[in-house]
Amino acid sequence: QNAVFTVSPAGTIVTLIQGGSNQPFGKIYAMAMDTQSGDVVVFDGAGYILRITRDAKPVVTTIVTSLSTGGNGGLHPLYGRRNQLIGVWNRTTIHSLVLGSSTPLTTIKNGSPFVWLADVEYEPATGLYAVADLSNSSGSVYRFDPVSGTVTTIVALNGIRPTQIAVAGGRHLCAVN
């Protein structure tokens, strides 16, 4: 079953919403926290982006429906911008998601060099974002500037396909299938 939950610093698990016959979402591919409200934003495999409040009785609101998906996805708060996330979910496009807007999605970058984007993560040391691309033949990790749209290659992985990425200090950690 799909579920969205939080874990307190003391280790307490609080379930916000859990799957079942009335679940509002399909397989969860990515999620992030809205740094302004503390709400959780979820991208699912059915092509929905949903906002889940962290109230005593969580409320699920659909932000976007019918997205074209590539089977993976990543969401991360857009650093320095209120109510905005950066996301990847349809193979070759990086999006900005503005919460509370009547037109929440904006394309930041589309196409080359991207083949099949899988995840995005903020790099505090550079102020930019690391993006994992799990191309069918050889994956790569890129550095992306959401202001200029500039993409630089951090590493070509020669046949290794990163599905998730995390940045810890100056290190890039990748999970692969």
Rounded-to-integer distance, Cα 22 and Cα 19, Å: 7
Closest CA to 84 of 92, 93, 75: 75
- Which residue is associated with the tokens 């200090």? 169
Contact 1, 25 (CB under 8 A): no
Tell whether pTM > 0.85.
no
pLDDT at 22: 53
Three-state secondary structure call for residue 119: strand
CA 78, 131, 43, 98: dihedral to nearest 10 degrees?
A: 20
Burial of 153 (0-12, 13-18, 19+ CB in 10 A): exposed
SS (H, E, C) 122-158: EECCCCEEEEEECCCCCCEEEEECCCCCCEEEEEECC
Cα–Cα distance, 107 to 74 (Å, whole number): 15
Residue type at position 37: S
Tell me: the pLDDT tens digits for 131-146? 988 876 678 899 999 9
Average pLDDT of the chain to the nearest whole number: 84
Q: Are the beta carbons of 41 and 34 closer than 8 angstroms? A: yes
* Token pair for 15: 């379930």
Give the pLDDT confidence score for residue 70 in this predicted structure: 61
Is the confidence at residue 112, as pLDDT, over 80?
A: yes
Summarised one tens digit per residue, pLDDT across range 56-79 is: 888 888 898 877 766 678 899 988
Strand residue runs (E) in the chain? 3-7, 13-18, 28-33, 40-44, 49-52, 60-64, 74-77, 84-88, 93-98, 105-110, 117-123, 128-133, 140-144, 151-156, 162-168, 171-176
Mean pLDDT of the 112-125 span: 89
For residue 152, the model assigns a pLDDT of 95
